[in-house]
Amino acid sequence: MSVIEANGLGKRFGSTWALRDCSLAVPAGHVAALVGPNGAGKTTLLNLAVGLVTPTVGSVTVLGGQAAGSPAALDGIAFVAQDVPLYGNLSAADMLHLTRNLNRHFDQRAAERRLAELDIPLKRKAGRLSGGQQAQLALTLALARRPRLLILDEPMAMLDPVARHNFMATVLTTAVDEGVSVLLSSHVLAELERVADFLVLLSHGRVQVAGEVDELLAGHRVLVGPAAEADRYAERLAVVHARSGGAQAHLLVRMNGDAARVPPGWDAHPVGLEELALAYLREPDAAALPGPARRTVTAVAG
């Protein structure tokens, strides 16, 4: 089952395409990170997934084929929007009560326990909580709904480092313990390295990379060798990003499981998630899209 599946999805605001030609399938059971620079279309894609925005072209389904924004989809998805919108004049307790009233499932006791652990006073107005507390309250509300998919848009923007750590720990625990799929967007790459096991990289409104982190890391290497030979090999290899410092060249290369292509005299080093993502972000024309997403595009086009 795909928690989110997009086919030829595009959204235009006025004359600007915020997202275009997006085909994507994120399987269930992952903590999927949606990464890209500001303005890449992350928020647009997430808003499309929860039905707040309707597609200009293409389609998007969630939770195994439910139309985005349909009652069944909204029932199974908890969404925390960017900047964590809460009713500032309602107390934390009221926000719990409100969310309980608006949903079929709500675990009141778990929510109250979590707020107590976080030292968030139930009686304080949401508008008078700190940014970090607001984010935690919004996450608490979302988790108490017992969703099958948790969507978080830039959840850590308002958090200090300690709060970020605690926040992500909660998300990870929930994902593992309760089998909740998570889709979260961020432009802070370092945050995601520890938690994400599926990566979607958006750039300029297009999907550039989509795949499981393990496979992506296994499929890429940094080749280090003499700078003089770099250009020669670059033609044969799927070079994502080349960087040369003096006599040595660092080529980040997509291997496609073909270790034999390491040129003689070069060393192959494994690559980190942050390094991989940065390399792609620096080269907007490079792409690493897995089979399934590609095939759906063809099917739609045909």
Partner 1 sequence: MSALAGPVLEGPNGLRPVPWQRMAWVTWRQHRFAVAGMALFLGGLATYLWIIGRRLHHAYAAAIACHSASSVACVDAISEFNSLYRFFLGGYVLQPLPALIGAFIGAPLLARELETGTFRYAWTQGFGRWRWTLAKLILLALVVVAAAAAMSVLFSWYYRPYFGAGNSALALRAWSPLDAYLFDLRGTAFAAWTLVAFAIGALAGALIRQVVAALAATLAAYTALAIAVGMFLRQHYLAPLATTRLNLPSSAWIVGQWWTKDGTFAYAPWPPGDLAFRLCPPSVVGQGKSTSQFNAVIQCFNRHGYAFWHHYQPASRFWTFQAIESGWLLALSALLVAATVWVVQHRAA
Residue of the chain from 57, 98, 227, 238 that contacts partner 1 (CB under 8 A): 98
User: Closest separation between CB of residue 33 and partner 1, Å?
Assistant: 20
User: Closest separation between CB of residue 62 and partner 1, Å?
Assistant: 11
Is residue 74 close enough to count as binding partner 1 by CB under 8 A? yes
Is residue 111 close enough to count as binding partner 1 by CB under 8 A? no
Element (H, E) at 231: helix 227-234
* Window 28-57: contact mask with partner 1 (x via CB under 8 A): -------------------x--xxxxx---
Is residue 299 close enough to count as binding partner 1 by CB under 8 A? no
Give whichever of 21 and 83 is closer to partner 1, judged by the CB atom. 83
Residue range at the interface with partner 1 (CB under 8 A); choices 99-107, 117-125, 158-166, 292-300: 99-107
Question: What does DSSP say about strands 181-186 and 31-35: parallel, antiparallel, or unpaired?
Answer: parallel
DSSP state letter for 40: S
User: Closest separation between CB of residue 24 and partner 1, Å?
Assistant: 16
| Rounded CA separation 78/285 (Å) | 34
Question: What does DSSP say about strands 198-203 and 31-35: parallel, antiparallel, or unpaired?
Answer: parallel
Contacts of 224 (CB under 8 A, 6+ apart): 248, 249, 250, 251, 266, 267, 269
Residue of the chain from 25, 86, 207, 271 that contacts partner 1 (CB under 8 A): 86
| Rounded CA separation 180/252 (Å) | 33
Segment 133 to 162, residues that bind partner 1, using CB under 8 A: 138, 145
Is residue 228 close enough to count as binding partner 1 by CB under 8 A? no
CA-based radius of gyration for the chain: 21
User: Closest separation between CB of residue 94 and partner 1, Å?
Assistant: 6
Residue of the chain from 2, 28, 57, 59 that contacts partner 1 (CB under 8 A): 59
Q: How many CB atoms lie within 10 A of CB 148?
A: 20
Summarize the chain as % helix, strand, coil (round to 5). 35, 30, 30
User: Closest separation between CB of residue 138 and partner 1, Å?
Assistant: 8
Q: Which of 218, 267, 213, 261 is nearest to 238 (CA)?
A: 261
Give whichever of 97 and 243 is closer to partner 1, judged by the CB atom. 97
Is residue 221 close enough to count as binding partner 1 by CB under 8 A? no
How far is residue 265 from each of residues 76, 84, 255, measured CA to CA in Å? 53, 52, 17
Give residues in contact with partner 1 (CB under 8 A).
Answer: 11, 13, 47, 50-54, 59, 61, 65-67, 69-72, 74-75, 77, 79, 81, 83, 85-90, 94, 97-99, 101-105, 138, 145
